[in-house]
Structure 1
């Protein structure tokens, strides 16, 4: 069985999106589709279900995934051992991140770890949202993860990584798109697009909290699993949303992002890990601290 098929399967399982899986693998999207079809032929079962709106693992895919991950990781470690002869391998470190909000930082993190901690095999796992991150780190499924405050797990530690400003997303032809700032009360009668409740998104929780403080409950018309899709739906005029400045890099024709009226509001992005990390995690954390020192608390309201 070709390792490339398994790598494509693992990446697709993490992204649940063929194009983003291809981007992470550095190949064209049709090649990922080809590898997945070939894997399914060899297994005799479909591993993903495909619809026009989503990609999801089948029961066979769920059963195959942990074994595929094990094979892919073993291949990675073997390749690393061959190409870095003489460099002691401290171990693998799995970093969990949500998606679009973390992507601007990931290339620099990966480059710095390879340069400054060559004994660390850094693994990236996407679709890890703030609500789930602490339990995954505490259980040992992840070594480091992007999270939010407050942190309620006694066996974990965190530090501030970034303060992300809260923004309103509307379509460019929306009645509020011409405003420099948008009063959240002006969104009370609007349809909203948000993350699903079960996903554990702190951005969704923040939107509900701010709306409730303004005296209304958002009229949710569409849920979507990631910021890329949410912003695309907003640009298409499906509804409005509250998002954060770290997704402003996502090129979305037809989208207008505006700050909330009044004092600037921020969410705190943190890096969390177990209080007694292993040597590989310690080495990775040292690199991250040097690469991205803790920022100063901004003026405005930090929504911890």
Structure 2
């Protein structure tokens, strides 16, 4: 298996068209087809189903695809390592986050990473709730993730970066919308919008625990994976939802945010990473995070 064969395979697999793949590789279509046939012969399995109208991956082709991408990624990293100066941080860093819950913590870190380490490729993976993020940290898909705390994940390391009071997002026409604050017990008759139980949302767990302490079990009308979608559903009058105080500044039209009175309902959040997968890029990111995201008192 040669590097040029892997590059050819990946181009055809992503384009699913030999002509476009040949243009992308700046080569004629006939040599590209010959390269693919040699790769298939060497592997002992067809990688593509071809006919006059379409090109599709075979089972073997689907199996090879993630490995081919990793091979080219590693080659790219090797080239960077050779050309990088002493002390240069290079490579790739995958950051997971949920969305609206991280709008005050994610931007400072990513901005600082791009400014201080311009040779570091930072990719952002949004819409991840806590348990899904932990799974991806465990299998190496993510390098670091913004999560809710605490978590039961002994193999992972965490650092707290924020502790926020929860408030309630209400539709603008809610009977309590004009109040300065509201007791959680006064919302026992409302429909709640929460994150899905299956995705292990810390915000959902805190919400259920707070309602239980206030003497009721919330009636859940809708479960959504994205916090901003939950706020949009509040604006649509579907229900209400508990959110950290930092979301007050990004509330959609036709919603209001009220503090909860009578008790402190707190949500802790932090960064999580897998020490087993600690690369120089991850270590540099964690050190920078300590500067731009100091641990709360």
The 5 A counterparts of 1:33-182 are: 67=66, 70=69, 74=73, 86=85, 88=88, 90-182=90-182
CA shift, 1:42, in A, is: 7.5
Question: For 1:263-299, what per-residue CA distance to the aligned partner results, in whole angstroms no more than 9, with x for missing partners?
Answer: 4322111111123522111011111111121122xxx
TM-score by length of 2: 0.70
2:206 maps to which residue? 206
CA shift, 1:149, in A, is: 2.3
1:2–1:191 Cα change, 3 Å: farther
Tell me, in whole angstroms, the C-alpha distance in 2 between the residues paired with 1:214 and 1:116: 47
Tell me, in whole angstroms, the C-alpha distance in 2 between the residues paired with 1:68 and 1:173: 54
CA shift, 1:229, in A, is: 1.5
Match of 1:124, SS state, is: strand
1:287 maps to which residue? 288
User: Is contact 1:143–1:281 with CA below 8 Å preserved after alignment?
Assistant: yes
Match of 1:92, SS state, is: strand
2:241 maps to which residue? 241
User: Is contact 2:114–2:120 with CA below 8 Å preserved after alignment?
Assistant: yes
Higher helix share: 2
Larger Rg over CA atoms: 2
Q: What 5-or-longer segments of structure 1 have no aligned partner?
A: 7-40, 46-62, 297-304
1:129–1:120 Cα change, 3 Å: same
CA shift, 1:86, in A, is: 4.9
CA shift, 1:225, in A, is: 2.4
1:180–1:224 Cα change, 3 Å: same
Question: For 1:19-66, what per-residue CA distance to the aligned partner results, in whole angstroms no more than 9, with x for missing partners?
Answer: xxxxxxxxxxxxxxxxxxxxxx97789xxxxxxxxxxxxxxxxx79x7
User: Is contact 2:235–2:252 with CA below 8 Å preserved after alignment?
Assistant: yes
CA shift, 1:113, in A, is: 0.9
Tell me, in whole angstroms, the C-alpha distance in 1 between the residues paired with 2:165 and 2:94: 27
RMSD: 3.5
Q: What 5-or-longer segments of structure 2 have no aligned partner?
A: 1-10, 17-52
CA shift, 1:109, in A, is: 1.8
Tell me, in whole angstroms, the C-alpha distance in 2 between the residues paired with 1:268 and 1:218: 21
1:273 maps to which residue? 273
1:162–1:68 Cα change, 3 Å: farther
CA shift, 1:138, in A, is: 2.6
1:106–1:259 Cα change, 3 Å: same
Q: Between 98-107 and 157-166, report the one with greater CA deviation.
A: 98-107
TM-score by length of 1: 0.68
User: Is contact 1:120–1:284 with CA below 8 Å preserved after alignment?
Assistant: no
User: Is contact 1:227–1:247 with CA below 8 Å preserved after alignment?
Assistant: no
Match of 1:176, SS state, is: coil
1:26 maps to which residue? none
1:60 maps to which residue? none
Q: Between 95-104 and 115-124, report the one with greater CA deviation.
A: 115-124
CA shift, 1:159, in A, is: 1.3
User: Is contact 2:168–2:259 with CA below 8 Å preserved after alignment?
Assistant: yes
Match of 1:286, SS state, is: helix
